[in-house]
Amino acid sequence: MKNISQRCLIAFASITYVDLACAIDLQPGEIRAPKAGLNIVQLSYQVSERGNKYTYGDKQAGEPEIHAAQFQVRVGRSFEIADSPALFYVQTPMGYTHPDGALSKIPSAREGDSGVGDTSFLLAIWPYANREKKTYFALGAYLTLPTGSYSNDRRFAFQNMGQNRYSSALQTGYQAPIVGALSWQGAIDAVWFGDNNDRGPTHATYSQKVLYTGQTGLRYDFNSSYAVGATYFYTTGGETSLNGVNQDDVTRLRRYQLTGIANYAFGRITLQYGGDIKTENGFIEDSRWILRYTKPF
């Protein structure tokens, strides 16, 4: 019985890659309600490569490159709220960003950053959790604090590990089996941003509208140890302004992510690969690798 409980907690505690500047990624098939009274630790390492910059869907001149890596530490605890399964966790990233290519020729854009990123918190609850039918409905509330390193000398937001602003999000997700070992899940989230009142050398006020993401994914379980999945994401909104001047840079982003999952006695190993399919504004992500280790204790 303990092993079943541990697997359930590993399932949800590893579901989200939290980046409230963009979206909240769920791993396929991972909206499973945890058993109460368990602790979890998760270690994640992510490497991403960004390339061409797009404006209104048109590729801009030059060959920019952005190399980034991030190590995340997450600790969580499962419990119950009014007899419903619930989970709380705190996550802090550490890493670096390094502009290259055409960006290395721009004095204000050729410096990257390394250090600690912003700290995120999650409180999730399952109003509906039917373990016999393997059907779940979950709600999650996120809060990110500006604890990361930040400098107003940098031209682009990606040059800082921290964002120097608060952000919050609400997410809802549903998971159900389709046929046999194949299951489906869908989720939507909305992210709200506080202002960054120290943007650039002029200490401008940087504001951003609400950012919305919808995602849908499939998971296939070969057996109790191994599974694969695929997820599609669509993000829109998030238009920004500087000192009240609209930047006309609304986000319209399509992404994909492929996942491999292996459950062992010593914990769960998850390997993911993904990238952008199309972006309206911003630097397109050519590739993203994520390796996770998740263990209850």
**Closest by alpha carbon to 271, among 283, 281, 258, 280?**
258
Q: Is the pLDDT of residue 14 over 60?
A: no
* Cβ neighbours of residue 39 closer than 8 Å, sequence gap 6 or more: 75, 76, 77, 78, 296, 297
Q: Which residue has the higher pLDDT, 247 or 111?
A: 247
Give me the pLDDT at residue 167, please: 96
For 164: left if phi > 0, alpha if psi spans -120 to 50, otherwise beta; the answer is left
The DSSP secondary-structure symbol of 11 reads H
Give the phi and the psi of residue 7 in degrees, each rounded to 5: -65, -40
User: d(Cα 14, Cα 74) in Å, to the nearest integer?
Assistant: 9
User: pLDDT of 28-79, one tens digit each?
Assistant: 887 989 889 999 999 999 999 999 999 989 999 888 899 999 999 999 999 9
Residues of the chain with pLDDT > 70: what percent? 90
| pLDDT value of position 108 | 62
Instruction: Note the pLDDT tens digit of each residue in 191-226.
Output: 999 999 998 888 999 999 999 999 999 999 999 999
- If you ran DSSP here, which 8-state letter would residue 223 be given? S
- Residue 156 has a pLDDT of 72
The mean per-residue pLDDT over the stretch 250-272 comes to: 96
Res 6 pLDDT > 50: no
Across the chain, mean pLDDT equals: 89
Q: Which domains does the chain have, with CATH numbers?
A: 2-296 (2.40.160.40)
**Collapsed DSSP state (helix, strand, coil) of residue 107:** coil
Which H or E element spans position 13? Answer: helix 2-13
* CA distance readout (Å), 282 to 48, 107, 253, 260: 15, 19, 9, 29
pLDDT for position 18: 55
Amino acid, single-letter form, for residue 100: D
CA distance 157 to 27: 26
Average pLDDT over residues 266-273: 96
Longest dimension (CA), the chain: 59
5 three-state secondary structure: helix
Q: How far is CA 180 from the centre of its chain?
A: 29
How far, CA to CA in Å, does 110 sit from each of 67, 101, 159, 271, 274? 12, 9, 9, 31, 26
